Amino acid sequence: MSGMKNSRRKVSSCNTFPLSNDILENNILPRLPVKSIFRFRCVCKRWGSLLTADSIFSLQKPLSLKPPSGLAYWNEKRLSFLSTDGRPMSVPDPKLSFLGEFVSVTNSCNGLICGFYVREGIWPEIYVCNPVTKQVRSTRTPKRGLIVGLAFDPSSPDPHYKLMCPFKVYKNTSHIEYGFNLFVSSTGMWRESKERIRISPESAVTGRSFFVDGVLYFKATNDIIWFQIDNDLAGVEPLPLSNNMITATLGEYNSKLSYIQITLDEIEIWTLKNFLWKKKHCVGLDLLDLITVPDKVSGHCPLLLMMSSCFRWGQRLTFTT
């Protein structure tokens, strides 16, 4: 009997990672089969009271695939969330206090966040964390390259995250040559790719990356640098620049890399398919209502640009100026 008592393991509370009822009912449980949901009634008292017979069958209504309409942004020293359609949303408070001090956030990908631990007198370390479970992994930054991109596909048969650091090989009057350091979490090792790309000497690579359909993209001044993670291939594509452009940004639109630029007269939305840019939308600025958000975002003021046809797009456009 004592052996049986000793073999018992303490079961952690179901509130270890608290989720609101709204997230459970509208985003998680409707994606599960009824049989599995009935089993979850035994998880804890809270779930038992939540998952009544009537509520379980009501959960099986058609699931809306409309993505949440909101903006996560950096507000001085913390992450904040803004609902762009005016409706309250049950979103966990995106504090990253568990990471400690001297932390920068550089990129995110499919629920993971990466950045740098920066401490005086110590070479920066790269961290990757899941802000929901508060799991954190860190690795030393390679000797070359202080820009890091994050690639993670949870639906992949190999759901391990990957990091990529582009670095300058050399620069002369005609071009800059870049190489790439690649880290795979399954091995915990850095390796240098044999791929090299060249961009103009006036161009500069930014730290923001986008992982779309197996390809990691970085924006340069006049180009995008792309790297196919699984095939170890790299290249450069010019951006569809306008002569009267005011500002521009990369993003993701309908599962494709997008390039959105504001000119003196209009907003242009381009998407990249098979490494060719195609203009998807062009909107005159006279059709837009500009709404200034009072919160400060990295010292800038974001403009939420709304138009009568935005519902046809199923999108709301967000820019910072």
Instruction: Convert the pLDDT of each residue in 217-236 to its tens digit.
Output: 999 988 999 999 889 999 99
Lowest-confidence pick of 40-49, 130-139, 260-269: 40-49
Residues 103, 233 within the same domain = yes
Sign for the pseudo-dihedral over CA of 244, 298, 149, 268: negative
Provide the 3-class DSSP secondary structure of residue 114.
strand
Angle value at C-alpha 86, between 85 and 87, nearest 5 degrees: 95
Q: Tell me, what's the pLDDT at 30?
A: 66
Q: Tell me, what's the pLDDT at 11?
A: 43
Residues 234, 100 within the same domain = yes
Residues 134, 212 within the same domain = yes
Across 9-13, 118-122, 196-200, the highest mean pLDDT is recorded for 196-200
Residues 166, 127 within the same domain = yes
Q: Tell me, what's the pLDDT at 198?
A: 93
Place of tokens 């997008």: 258
The gap between the terminal CA atoms of the chain, to the nearest Å, is 69
> Cα(223)–Cα(249) distance, rounded to whole angstroms?
12
> Cα(293)–Cα(241) distance, rounded to whole angstroms?
28
Segment (H or E) for 3 = helix 2-7
Residues 108, 225 within the same domain = yes
Q: Tell me, what's the pLDDT at 318?
A: 38
Residues 20, 138 within the same domain = no
Q: Tell me, what's the pLDDT at 254?
A: 83
Residues 127, 184 within the same domain = yes
Residues 61, 101 within the same domain = no
Of the candidates 284, 280, 290, 285, the one whose C-alpha atom is nearest the C-alpha of residue 312 is 280
Of the candidates 226, 225, 211, 260, the one whose C-alpha atom is nearest the C-alpha of residue 240 is 260
Residues 181, 128 within the same domain = yes
Inside any domain, residue 76: no
CA dist 117 → 114, 123, 127 (Å): 10, 9, 7
87 band by pLDDT with thresholds 50, 70 and 90: low
Judged against a pLDDT cut of 60, whether residue 279 lies above it is answered with yes
Residue length of the chain: 321
What percent of the chain lies above the pLDDT cut of 70?
62
Residues 49, 139 within the same domain = no
Residues 128, 203 within the same domain = yes
Please give the torsion angle defined by the CA atoms of residues 59, 61, 64 and 70, in that order, rounded to the nearest 10 degrees: -30
Sign for the pseudo-dihedral over CA of 104, 67, 90, 53: negative
Inside any domain, residue 167: yes
What mean pLDDT value characterizes the chain? 74
Residue 5 or residue 285, greater confidence? 285
Number of H-type helices and E-type strands within the chain: 6, 22
Inside any domain, residue 286: no
Sign for the pseudo-dihedral over CA of 87, 92, 93, 94: negative
Domain range for residue 117?
Answer: 96-238
Judged against a pLDDT cut of 90, whether residue 145 lies above it is answered with no
Inside any domain, residue 140: yes
117 band by pLDDT with thresholds 50, 70 and 90: confident
Inside any domain, residue 290: no
Inside any domain, residue 126: yes
Mean pLDDT of 43-52: 72
Q: Structural domain tally of the chain? A: 2
Inside any domain, residue 209: yes
Q: Which amino acid is at 68?
A: P
Residue 236 phi/psi, 5-degree rounding, is: -135, 140
Judged against a pLDDT cut of 60, whether residue 319 lies above it is answered with no
